[in-house]
Structure 1
Amino acid sequence: MEKKLERGIPVIKEFLEVLDNDLPGLPLIQVIECTLDLELVLALEHKAQYRMTPSELKELKVQAQELLDKGLDKDLEDHMNHLQLVLGKLREHLLYARLSKCKFFLEEVKLLGHVISKDGVAVDPIKVEAVVD
């Protein structure tokens, strides 16, 4: 039902051909030459993705709060404009997104153990509860 509601939004209606659950076929074949230096690849340190040091996490929170304080991606009209730009780029490059995987106009987003909302960045309470338990 949620996806039917999103189809009624003017920006979404304008770009329905790029937001479809039934893709029209395989993407265009593009030849890309790529070489890997295996010695370099093997020498790379393997560690968990998205792991941040406490200082990096603090800086991320500071930067996110600064953006929120400036009032960036809060306004519904701004959100609609950004959505139109992104969907336009998909159309321009003959790319597609599955509507069933898309979320629009969310009040908050959970990302990497944090909750990002108009109120700022906070630790996800579910993660805190898991650690306490």
Structure 2
Amino acid sequence: MLRPVTDADGAPFWRYAARGELRVQGCADCGALRFPPRPCCPHCRSFAHAWHRTAGRGRIWSWVVAHPPLLPGYADLAPYPVVLVELAEAPRIRLVGNLVARPGAPINSLTAGRIRIGARVRAVFHDGMPQWVPEHRS
């Protein structure tokens, strides 16, 4: 499995993910949430920031199905879906990830026929990596 390459701005995201938390960076002055993490707020230009825990819920904004050729560690799992999720509490933030049937399921555990734009999803974590699962209404 590939591991993320981190920089000083993004390293906290991965530390929180390893603990099973989906956090995004926010401005400590104007409060605007942002992703990807960066040193300066794009809204007010402040360098003050904090990490905010999210509920980890959102909607599928877009998606694709990855097919070979891929990186060697993923070629045997293809085809598999990759989604772009718009966070419910911060609609300007969209995160890329795998859509899986259940926590810990392989990245090819859902077929394209089950994916819908606007479908509700929630974040889960497997081996420190955020993934998305369909959120079923009760």
> TM-score normalised by the shorter chain: which range applies?
under 0.3
Greater helix content:
1
Q: For the pair shown, which has the larger CA radius of gyration, 1 or 2?
A: 1
Greater relative CO, 1 or 2 (CA 8 Å, sep 6+): 1
Q: TM-score, normalised by structure 1?
A: 0.22
Greater strand content:
2
